Amino acid sequence: MNRIGALIADMTLAEKLGQLTMTAAGYTVTGPVIAGDSTDAIRAGTIGSLLNLYGGGQVHEMQRLAVEESRLGIPLLIAFDVIHGHRTLFPVPLGEAALFDPEAWELTAREAATEAAADGIAMAFAPMLDVSRDPRWGRTAEGPGEDPWLGAQIAAAKVRGFQGSDLAAAAALAAVAKHFCAYGPVTAGRDYASVDISERSVLEVHLPPFAAAIAAGAAGVMPAFTDLAGIPMTAHVGLLRGVLRGRLGFDGVIVSDYNAIAELMRHGVAADLAEAATLALKAGVDIDMMANAYRIGLPVALQRELVSMTEIDDAVRRVLTLKLRLGLFEQPYRRGASAEGAPALERRRRLAREIGARAVVMLKNDAALPLPGAVRRLAVIGPLADAADQMCGPWSLVGQPGTYVSVVAGLRSALLGAQVVHSPGVTIGGDDISGIAGTLDICSAADAVILCVGEAAAMSGEAASRACLDLPGQQRRLALSVIDRAKALGKPVIAIVFSGRPLAVPWLIERADAVLAAWFPGCEAGHSIADVITGQVSPSGRTPMSWPRAVGQVPIFFGQRPSGRPADPDNAYTSKYLDLPNEPLFPFGYGLSYGRFGLSNLRVSPHEVTASEQIEVRVDVANDGARAAEQTVFLFVHDRIASVARPLLELKGFGKIALRPGESGTVTLYIAAAELRFLGLDLRPVFEPGEVEIMVGPCADRSLMLVQSIRLCA
Ligand code: NOJ
């Protein structure tokens, strides 16, 4: 018998269930209610994992109780939400997605893992891989945006970054891909609401990022809180056992979301905790986070013969195997053993500054940016201008707010010769407009106005859905007053929008001279933004979600299927709105730079391919602007005639090229013909011969694309 088998054979039921129980630090499970302190339970071996504990000293104190004072000495698994950095905070994941740079995605996860491991943490509840096409849903901020292929690239990069090549390494964290799956299309964008979508959408839109995470070796998966057509994901045998463990071959640990097993009662599929625990265990959930359902419910379920000891042992084996792979048995105190030195932290701050700047998407620029060097007096207006504590977004648990850089601070340090005058005008969500008049005087006296508006950090993320996608509170009023005043005096207004989602603010985009979508840029926010505004960095971010004109267009995404009645302005009975265009204000992939790029000369070869071949796609890019900049090009395909209607655009690649003024170059992309298939409902690829369009463009706007057709041969 191997080590784990021997341990299991020696364990009492209570100890087994302990290994399946994850508790928030500072609490213990003392009955159906969670209260008190966890130390006794750790000693008794009835808690196997902790969340929300960090810091080498504290982690080791708890670890010592488990390793030295519990009967079997099994180490604890310490898990944490390491979402977009740990102590050093990078942009929110949606902002990072805008980089379209797998190396950068991997690097920030690597750095976050190193920092978190130095805090004693061994498992990250990340990456969050929920495709979102509905910006009302607050958790949009945590994820990869609207596209499954993009989500898959991010998934693989993040898993590589967190886990490295050896899970036992001192700086490696087990990655938990979440939230499996199809959490994004919650009804009406309301968090935790029911999901009811087609099997094909689940397979083609919501599964691919998870499949990529599993293929990259993700050690864990967390089921979503939500139900899919009546079956809560925490109890979804078909998806957890059938698809995840079966078809995707996942043999790692499934960790429930917070209290999710007990919530099976609220979902209306379990009458009591024993039934809830039974459903989750049967679906393959190994660790019960904070529901106390396994500890209380499974002994009862055993008595009722709803579950078997073998099923419990299987889950325990998976948990112990993960602890073994993490090196916890051999070296339980390795993570958190040494604090990181100042040079590592400084290097990471520099990285945060760079990534924060590269995440910025320039939505508009009527020659207002970069700011001319002659600017002497700058008005920096708005409730987000000097709001350092709002800059890191909703998941900044261990950041140090005192060290975050506001826009005002960043601009002051970048523009030493200029006077930077600030007034918030209004608060982010409040009603008081008495401060607006004062801001107008400041604008009158300035050479240019930087208007910092948007959401508070807590307005996106979990439990932060919004029915309106305009600026909260009185910010619209502030913005309109400021723009009117500046316009009257001929001064440029540069609007910076902070948000965890695309906002529907067409009025702002129309009136401001330049608009930057900054997302929540991270701890170096002010420096990142100053770098872009002053022209130190040419903006290169591309939006990973379509920007709607109005909430009524939501859900909005480029990968729509063709209609039998495509929109036709001359025909009323076609698929369109009476009051707005169908198209988003800014399509997926949109983003300006300080260069000016043109694409030409698309070359695709070969023109006839079989399933096993690769297609080479080349396009020339020229920068005929006056500044060096980087261009991103996107590769889309459209299978025009298939047995199942295919989306009008499917993303299959992207590439980047940096060019000096007047310079041109070639971007080469490859696509395996096998990628042109679609999935059958049995998850097997369907490869149909026929014509496929290969398109390359600067964003998901078909009118800007170069197109060639190839033939797929059997
Ligand atoms: C609930 C969230 O849904 C999940 O993303 C997170 O990892 C857990 N809470 C733990 O904090």
In 434-578, which ranges are E strands? 448-454, 493-498, 514-517
Supply the residue whose CA is at minimum distance from atom 3 of ligand 1. Answer: 257
Distance 212 CA to ligand 1 centre (A): 21
Supply the residue whose CA is at minimum distance from atom 11 of ligand 1. Answer: 81
Distance 316 CA to ligand 1 centre (A): 22
Query: What is d(CA 669, CA 653) in angstroms, rounded to the nearest whole number?
Result: 7
Query: Residue 641 belongs to a domain with what CATH number?
Result: 2.60.40.10
Residue 673 in any domain: the answer is yes
Helices 3-10 and 309-325 sit at what angle, rounded to 10 degrees? 130
pLDDT one-digit tens code per residue, 496-515: 999 999 999 999 999 999 99
Distance 178 CA to ligand 1 centre (A): 9
Read off the amino acid at residue 50: L
Q: Same structural domain for residues 459 and 388?
A: yes
pLDDT score at 64: 95
Query: Residue 501 belongs to a domain with what CATH number?
Result: 3.40.50.1700
Q: Are strands 514-517 and 220-223 parallel, antiparallel or unpaired?
A: unpaired
Active site residue 257: yes
Domain count, the chain: 2
pLDDT score at 686: 86
Coil, strand or helix at 121 = coil
8-state DSSP, 255: B
Neighbours of 488 (CB within 10 A): 10
Q: Are strands 361-365 and 514-517 parallel, antiparallel or unpaired?
A: antiparallel
Query: What is d(CA 54, CA 206) in angstroms, rounded to the nearest whole number?
Result: 32
pLDDT one-digit tens code per residue, 191-212: 999 999 999 999 999 999 999 9
Q: Same structural domain for residues 383 and 441?
A: yes
Residue 485 in any domain: the answer is yes
Supply the residue whose CA is at minimum distance from atom 7 of ligand 1. Answer: 125
Beta carbons of 411 and 542 less than 8 angstroms apart: no
Size of the chain in residues: 714
Q: Same structural domain for residues 530 and 649?
A: no
C-alpha Rg value of the chain to the nearest Å: 26
Q: Same structural domain for residues 509 and 447?
A: yes
Residue 365 in any domain: the answer is yes
- Reading the block at residue 19, the tokens are 């290994």
Q: Same structural domain for residues 498 and 397?
A: yes
Question: Could you give the C-alpha distances from 253 to 23, 63, 273, 274, in angstroms and in order?
Answer: 16, 20, 21, 21
Query: What is d(CA 577, CA 668) in angstroms, rounded to the nearest whole number?
Result: 38
Neighbours of 217 (CB within 10 A): 15
Beta carbons of 212 and 155 less than 8 angstroms apart: yes
pLDDT score at 37: 73
Q: Same structural domain for residues 374 and 491?
A: yes
pLDDT score at 430: 97
Bridge-partner residues for 422, per DSSP? 380
Looking at 553, 586, 611, the residue that finishes a domain is 553
Residue 385 in any domain: the answer is yes
Burial code (b: 16+ CB inside 10 Å, e: under 16) for 605-633 equals eeeebeeeeebebebbbbbebeeebbbbb
pLDDT one-digit tens code per residue, 232-276: 999 999 999 999 999 999 999 999 999 999 999 999 999 999 999
Residue 698 in any domain: the answer is yes
Query: What is d(CA 7, CA 74) in angstroms, rounded to the nearest whole number?
Result: 9
Distance 257 CA to ligand 1 centre (A): 6
Q: Same structural domain for residues 448 and 549?
A: yes
- Reading the block at residue 617, the tokens are 């796609």
Q: Same structural domain for residues 546 and 606?
A: no
Supply the residue whose CA is at minimum distance from atom 9 of ligand 1. Answer: 258
Coil, strand or helix at 588 = coil
Residue 155 in any domain: the answer is no
Residue 480 in any domain: the answer is yes
The dihedral of CA 254, 260, 261, 265: what is its sign? negative
Q: Same structural domain for residues 468 and 601?
A: no
Bridge-partner residues for 344, per DSSP? none
Beta carbons of 471 and 453 less than 8 angstroms apart: yes
Coil, strand or helix at 617 = strand
Q: At a CB cut-off of 8 Å and minimum separation 6, what does 412 contact? A: 420
Distance 226 CA to ligand 1 centre (A): 13
- Reading the block at residue 98, the tokens are 């805008």
| Residues with C-beta less than 6 Å from any ligand 1 atom | 81, 125, 178, 257-258, 462
Annotated catalytic residue within 119, 227, 257, 639: 257
Distance 289 CA to ligand 1 centre (A): 9
Where the chain has pLDDT below 70, the residues are 1, 27-36
- Reading the block at residue 101, the tokens are 């740079």
Which of 49, 50, 51, 81 gets mutated to test ligand 1 (max ligand atoms within 8 A of its CB)? 81
Supply the residue whose CA is at minimum distance from atom 1 of ligand 1. Answer: 258
Which of 53, 92, 178 gets mutated to test ligand 1 (max ligand atoms within 8 A of its CB)? 178
Which atom, in ligand 1's list, is nearest to the CA of 178? Answer: 5
Helices (H), 427-562: 436-444, 475-488, 506-511, 525-533
pTM for the structure as a whole = 0.98
Q: Same structural domain for residues 601 and 460?
A: no
Q: At a CB cut-off of 8 Å and minimum separation 6, what does 314 contact? A: none
Bridge-partner residues for 659, per DSSP? 629
Distance 258 CA to ligand 1 centre (A): 6
Q: Same structural domain for residues 513 and 639?
A: no
Query: What is d(CA 54, CA 271) in angstroms, rounded to the nearest whole number?
Result: 36
Question: Could you give the C-alpha distances from 561 to 350, 577, 638, 712, in angstroms and in order?
Answer: 43, 17, 10, 20
Which atom, in ligand 1's list, is nearest to the CA of 225? Answer: 3
Looking at 497, 519, 553, the residue that finishes a domain is 553
Q: Same structural domain for residues 520 and 632?
A: no
pLDDT score at 32: 43
Query: What is d(CA 91, CA 84) in angstroms, rounded to the nearest whole number?
Result: 7
Q: At a CB cut-off of 8 Å and minimum separation 6, what does 367 contact? A: 513
Distance 80 CA to ligand 1 centre (A): 9
Residue 684 in any domain: the answer is yes
8-state DSSP, 576: -
8-state DSSP, 265: H
pLDDT score at 28: 53
Which atom, in ligand 1's list, is nearest to the CA of 125? Answer: 7
Which of 77, 125, 128 gets mutated to test ligand 1 (max ligand atoms within 8 A of its CB)? 125
Beta carbons of 544 and 150 less than 8 angstroms apart: yes
Read off the amino acid at residue 636: F
Distance 664 CA to ligand 1 centre (A): 46
Q: Tell me which residue range forms the domain holding 706.
A: 597-712
Which of 140, 290, 462, 465 gets mutated to test ligand 1 (max ligand atoms within 8 A of its CB)? 462
For the chain, report the end-to-end CA distance as a whole number of angstroms.
Answer: 50
Looking at 494, 519, 553, the residue that finishes a domain is 553
Beta carbons of 696 and 633 less than 8 angstroms apart: yes
